[in-house]
Amino acid sequence: MFVIEIIPLTVLPPNVPQILSYFFDPVRGKTPLEGSSANHAFQADRTSNGTSSPLPRGAIVEVEINNRKVKAVVLSSLPIEEAKIGLKKAEFQLKRISEVLTETPQISDRQLHIALWLSKAYYSPLGMCLKAVLPPFFLKKKYLLKAAELPEARLREAKRKPDFILTDAKNALKNVMPLVKSAVSKNGQAVLIVPDNQTIDHFYKNLSKNFETVKVSSGVGNKALFNAWQNTQNGKVQVLVGTRQALLLPFKKLALVIVDDPLHEFYKSDMSPKYNAADLAGYIAKTNNCRLVYLSPITGVENYFLLKNKTYELMDKTSSPPPIKTINMVSEIKSGNFSLLSRELKSQILSLVNPNTQDKKILIFSPRRGHSGIVVCQNCGYTAKCPNCEVAYRIHRAENLVLVCHHCGNTQRLPDHCPNCNSSKLKPTGPAGSQKIYEEVRRILSQNEVTGVPVLILDTDVTANQTEEEEVMSEIAKPNTSILIATQMIFSYRYDHNFDFVAIMNADSLIQSPDFHTEERLFYQLEKLFDFKPQLLLIQTFNPENQAIVMASQRNYNDFYEKELTMRQTLSYPPFSRLIKLTFRHPSREVASREARILAGKLKMAVVQLKLSDKIKITDSSPGYTEKERGLYTYNIVVKSLTGQTPREILKYVPSRWLIDVDPRSLL
């Protein structure tokens, strides 16, 4: 008879024990064990006492939790005689495990360490973190692992500082190749983490010519992933290229971890545990004592701070940007040009689509998808809003103009009169989207009798899947002049495509969000547009004197970073703190507001009582930037940990119905 400790592969509230204890009797199997909760009067089966083998660490069992059968991972087994003293003092009664699913370990110490790190760093349920670490083929009959196929844990501190390489997309591969070659030449392995599948293909196509390379992503089937697992474990694979899942394979001798574009928003998981893959890459490199390299178009504010303090080593390999021209759209309107396109933009387009020019590529970057902004009644000021989210509908074009909510996807037809005052004076207003820009470009080409020039759109409305996306980019790659109107989706193609001319429509839309990351993201997106190697980049704005736009157009990064660091230090934002966003949602605004106020007061009181006022700051509760979304009202509380650690001693007071997001993408 044994007492085993297990991690259930299910969600337990973070503030309750994540490791549970059960009985295991190899002989009696599923027979329930009777015992008193007061004195734990155990009756061990004599035939099994001292003769049966315990379950090994990593074995899989089935246990009962709240009358529900769940799978669990064995952490340890202890003979009942050794556990009696501790159990007699316990105030609970142990249950027997329901079934042993596999005695052969299916989970390694390495996976357990990663799950534990995720749980601690992001205050997420340990079982959910362990499920996130496991491969999709876990416990599938065809893919059960043998004990020899589980990698040993390597927990050694990396001594070398991470390298931060500033590089454009076209030179990223040139920077990667010597790094990988050096790692592989010493019988080591390298892993390259990228944010999306399109980028995987770019690096895989080139690296596989020189190294034994596999690609790993959520789109890879169980059979291919299982083979990649085994070949990585036995050292046959030299290089792995993939999304965050590639970090979780069982490396035999990991020598190099490369993270491409570490500021990319796709690295942050939307589902629990809400971890950042770029940070996980740092942990993997640290525990394998291997080199860590970041490839990025810009440093970003927080990395600039780390570079400034010599935490990272900088290798600056950027190239010269193209000329940048800023157009004041207010002056355009004053001079009688009411078009979406400035005179300069029209001139550039018409000069490039001239029959005398050949194979010219034009990119018009649209910060917004859809057709127009919102619809407003000019008589009474009424604005059509989504009943589920209480935000203004955006205008899209299907066969006709329709209203679409960008939060829940709710759609309704565009009204022909105002529901409030019955006026017919309804007018679209606000920034134009990619569909309206498309119409305007087509109109200008038609007015100037330009034919045979494809005008295409790349956004999530027009290209609903990967196949349609690839069709658009295949058309752009053809040897003829073409125009592409694209949203941020185009950034995934900056490694393989160039454009002769790039224009940004309404750059003001890129800095309208009140989040503290907004201006930094303007620099980030502008630098990515430089990767397309245009001969000229044109910025259209209604506010050309905005300091963020001025600094971005001048590429005055250091001054911007210094200004941002001063502001962030004053407000206790990263890198001077770690942010945790607590979110509560409820169908009733009153309930959501009340619960948020109560928790904010409770947390502030806990900070005072624990004497943590110099280490932790708690903001007042406030409604979300989109207060109501999908029928639920949202309220947020922000916890600022000035030590940079996850404040578990405070978060344990957060009820389980609240969402906890450590290092959130946005505070809105």
The per-residue pLDDT for range 626-659, each reduced to its tens digit, is 999 999 999 999 999 999 999 999 999 999 899 9
Q: pLDDT at residue 30 above 80?
A: no
**Across all residues in the chain, what is the average pLDDT?**
89
* CA 637 vs CA 185, 265, 622: distances in Å: 50, 22, 7
Res 336: pLDDT: 94
Q: pLDDT at residue 38 above 70?
A: no
Instruction: Report the 10 Å Cβ neighbour count for 62.
Output: 14
Rounded to whole angstroms, how far apart are CA atoms 345 and 48?
84
Output DSSP code: residue 265. G
Token look-up 């998808």 returns 369
Domain map (residue ranges) of the chain: 2-105, 149-316, 324-372+430-565, 578-662
- Intrachain domains 149-316 and 578-662 with the same fold: no
Rg of the Cα atoms in the chain: 29
* CA 653 vs CA 258, 358, 457, 591, 597: distances in Å: 38, 66, 49, 19, 14
What's the whole-model pTM score? 0.91
Q: pLDDT at residue 44 above 70?
A: no
* CA 616 vs CA 14, 564, 578, 646: distances in Å: 20, 21, 10, 10
Does the 149-316 domain belong in CATH 3.40.50.300? yes
Rounded to whole angstroms, how far apart are CA atoms 567 and 571?
6
- Tokens in use for 498? 């160039």
Q: pLDDT at residue 261 above 80?
A: yes
Rounded to whole angstroms, how far apart are CA atoms 75 and 423?
70
Q: pLDDT at residue 142 above 50?
A: yes
Architecture, CATH, for domain 324-372+430-565: 3-Layer(aba) Sandwich (3.40)
Res 78: pLDDT: 85
Q: Are 135 and 225 in contact (CB under 8 A)?
A: yes
Main-chain dihedrals φ then ψ at residue 333, nearest 5 degrees: -65, -40
Rounded to whole angstroms, how far apart are CA atoms 76 and 314?
44
Tell me whether strands 324-328 and 20-24 are parallel, antiparallel or unpaired: unpaired
Q: Are 186 and 211 in contact (CB under 8 A)?
A: no
How distant is the alpha carbon of residue 388 from its chain centre?
Answer: 26
Res 459: pLDDT: 93
Q: pLDDT at residue 299 above 80?
A: yes
Q: pLDDT at residue 416 above 50?
A: yes
- Tokens in use for 125? 């349920």
* CA 306 vs CA 68, 302, 303, 571, 645: distances in Å: 47, 6, 5, 19, 16
Rounded to whole angstroms, how far apart are CA atoms 110 and 155?
9
Which of 574-587 are b and which e, b meaning 16 or more Cβ less than 10 Å from the residue's Cβ? bbbbbbbbbbbbbe
Q: pLDDT at residue 32 above 70?
A: no
Q: Are 341 and 333 in contact (CB under 8 A)?
A: no
3-state SS class at 148: helix
Pick the CATH number of 578-662 from 3.30.2310, 2.60.40, 3.30.70, 3.40.50: 3.30.70
Q: Are 259 and 293 in contact (CB under 8 A)?
A: yes
Q: Quick one: angle between helices 434-447 and 343-352, nearest 10?
A: 60
